[in-house]
Structure 1
Amino acid sequence: MASIIKNRAIVNDDWTLVRPAEDGALPALSELPAGKVLLPLALWQAERDALSASRSAAELGVWLAPDSEPAEIVGDFDKLAVIAVDFPVFRDGRGYSIGRLLRERYGYKGELRAIGDVLRDQLTFMFRCGFDAYALRADKDFEDALKAFDEFSVQYQGAVDNPSPLFRRRAASQAAAQTAASKVPA
């Protein structure tokens, strides 16, 4: 069984990623494997009712391509256990924006998984954009990848994990210190 990093731990991946055929054709529902499946957005949109009737929400997930519009699945959050975002190549950063939109604008609270060409160097940045699960590329070392989460101790910009930028955090800390100092009796 394949593994993923989820909530900063290596766990077994019991989801099957379903991709379109080489020619772009989507599989028929009868061709889908049993168990938990991560489906392309187009298949989910075409067969939403049939899939919801034949499987529980705990068995259904959708993956978004870099050019997908996350707003298209906002109404389906309760029918999906996982939303994955495909990073087809390392240099394609559109998935980071999709992750932030899902978390910040649309309020998605479930598992947000990065799939595709996912490398160690991306994990911290994906985490900051709201991802909590990562399907590393098959040739990568999971133990080494876990170390990426602890490499940066300070982030300057605000993100999903800490919306306040560094200058605001410092100002708040200084104000708190000044308030505490003014309360000290002379």
Structure 2
Amino acid sequence: MELKEAISKRVSIRYYENREVEEEKVNALIEAAIRAPTASGLENWFFVIYKSEQARKRIHEIMFESHIEYYQARGLPEEKVKKLKSKILENGMYKAPVYIGVFIERGIGVLKDSKYTQLEFIWAIESAAGAIENLMLKAVELGLGTCYIGVTSLDKYQKELREMAGLEDNWYLVGVIPVGYPTERISPRARRKSLDTIMRVV
């Protein structure tokens, strides 16, 4: 598969087969992830593979709870919130055989002056984001689907997901990635904005 095809077929998958993802494929995803650029060469990332039945059940509940909080904060009508409840809890949206939590460690950097602390934190997040994209493209090649979930980084859910993984408070959750074999058809959508509206040559 050429890179162009993988990029095109990388779409957010929200429904998965009730089928285990092979260990070698999970390992291949992480191996691809850590080939991403890493700020200051720190490799400041950590990947937690949530695959036990208990962990997956709770993460699926967290997916629902965090999405509800997000949509309520956006001011969505209660009717739409109820539809989301039906999609996630009853129809199994985001119910995956594997979830990958991508963490970075706070306070890790090479610059001594504290005025750079926030910037190095942002660099670490950017490094993790690059790793996530690598992981997702590798998943396409392996016939797997993924979806980036950011709402799990809301404070109370982040804390719980850290505790589930046995991580201390200095670890920050950048995102959770459901991984599995898609049940839905891969249908890439065109972007709403054209190149001339999102690009400037100077």
Place the TM-score, normalised by the shorter chain, in its bin.
under 0.3
Q: Report the structure number with the largest CA radius of gyration.
A: 1
Normalized per residue, the structure richer in strand is: 1
Whichever structure has more helix as a proportion of its residues is: 2
Q: Which has the higher contact order (CA 8 A, sep 6+)?
A: 2
TM-score, length-normalised on structure 2? 0.22
TM-score by length of structure 1 reads: 0.23
